[in-house]
Amino acid sequence: MADKANPIRFGILGCAEIARKVSRAIALSPNATIVAVGSRSLDKAVRFIAANGLPPATRAHGSYDAVLDDRDVDAVHVPLPTSLHVRWAVAAAERGKHVLLEKPTALCAADLDRILDACKSCGVQFMDTTMWMHHPRTARMRELLSDPDRFGQLRTIHSIFSFHGDSDFLQNDIRVKPDLDGLGVLGDTGWYCIRSILWAADYELPKTAIAHHGLAKNEAGVNLSCGSTLLWDDGKVATFYCSFLAHLTMELSVAGTRGTLHLSDFVIPFEETHAKFRFATDSGFAELQTGWKPLPSEHDVSTELPQEALMIQEFSSLAGSIRDSSCKPDQKWPTIARKTQLVLDAVKASIEKGFEPVNITS
């Protein structure tokens, strides 16, 4: 079992901004440690280690390959541009490193399949970095959604994730560059919206995606703002909206026949130590419709570790089971990632087909 004395040892491929958050999470996790950082520039790796207060023993490497060749590295965090994911995630798996991959996991499901196949055949754990999945709030909300007496049957889900990219972001960020992150906002904030919808639907894949009119692209054709409807055969319907052009907004609303869940910070909670949500069961109107009865209840879930550290802990626990107990890689996380990517592909295809319905097939 991976623990403080015998942790999963991480290497990081690249010095992306998000790697700073993940390296802190590795430090906070009780069963993980960071041992190496690789960059195309050795200097940059050295500076990253110093600037982020990583353990002095952390090795700086002047290439990604050097990290993968480092025999002290058990697992890698891959925060590279999406267009590089197949190459480096597959290379990592083939050299026996567990793969913690930034979202979007790939430019398309076929690419992700190459990564997942490599992880499976090499016996390494795969997980994407959708951090909010690991917050205890998420488990608490799942309990309520799974309770037919409090939530009933799922009917509809609506998800929004936007932030307002400034002019530097809209000019220079890798997420608006067709050759780096060609999925644009759909692969970035849209990834979270799609995941939240799949999560709320207990990972039942929708049947159809129909992108919404009214999207925005930059001059290079990268999506900056878009949305979609997702449909299931039983009449469930979801919509989402993702944007780089509107102020920071993160709404998730899930309604069943008997209950409604709502939260306004589903991806990154307002505060690190606790997170809220609102849940209503069998609410109607008070006499003469002068208010609600019963009122929705407010829930507040504390967490000792931030959600990203809980992610590292879970990932390291799975990697530890493979290392110490010869377990096979857990398939829950690859399966969820793949479904997210399948829906993303369908929305993208619907956009490309002029908002026509596109079937989602596994």
Catalytic residue, candidates 4, 21, 103, 177:
103
Rounded Cα distance, 26 and 309, in Å? 6
Q: Output the smallest distance, CB 26 to a copy of itself, in A.
A: 13
- CB nearer a copy of itself, residue 41 or residue 260: 260
Q: Output the smallest distance, CB 20 to a copy of itself, in A.
A: 6
- CB nearer a copy of itself, residue 56 or residue 284: 284
Residue 103 annotated as catalytic: yes
Spatial CA neighbour of 188 closest among 242, 266, 143: 242
Rounded Cα distance, 266 and 247, in Å? 15
Binding site for a copy of itself (CB under 8 A): 18, 20-21, 24, 152, 155-156, 158, 160, 162-164, 208, 210, 212-214, 216, 225, 227, 229, 231, 235, 237, 239, 241, 243, 245-249, 251, 253, 255-260, 262, 264-265, 268-272, 278, 280, 282-286, 288-292, 295-296, 306, 355, 357
- CA distances from residue 328 to 12, 230, 311 in whole angstroms, order as listed: 23, 33, 19
Q: What stretches of the chain adopt beta strand conformation (E)? A: 8-13, 32-38, 59-61, 75-78, 98-101, 126-128, 154-164, 208-211, 216-217, 223-231, 237-243, 245-256, 259-263, 274-281, 284-285, 292-293, 297-302, 358-359
Q: Output the smallest distance, CB 69 to a copy of itself, in A.
A: 29
Give residue for tokens 């692969």. Answer: 187
Under 8 Å between Cβ of 18 and 6: no
- CB nearer a copy of itself, residue 203 or residue 285: 285
Q: Output the smallest distance, CB 283 to a copy of itself, in A.
A: 5
Q: What is the DSSP string of 57-92?
A: TPEEESSHHHHHH-TT--EEEE-S-GGGHHHHHHHH
Rounded Cα distance, 266 and 277, in Å? 9
- CB nearer a copy of itself, residue 95 or residue 262: 262
- CB nearer a copy of itself, residue 269 or residue 329: 269
Q: Output the smallest distance, CB 181 to a copy of itself, in A.
A: 17
Rounded Cα distance, 219 and 57, in Å? 45
- CB nearer a copy of itself, residue 22 or residue 119: 22
Q: Output the smallest distance, CB 10 to a copy of itself, in A.
A: 17
Tokens (6 digits) for 61: 């490497």
Tokens (6 digits) for 42: 């050795």
Note the Cα 109 to chain centre separation in Å: 15
Q: Which residues are catalytic?
A: 103
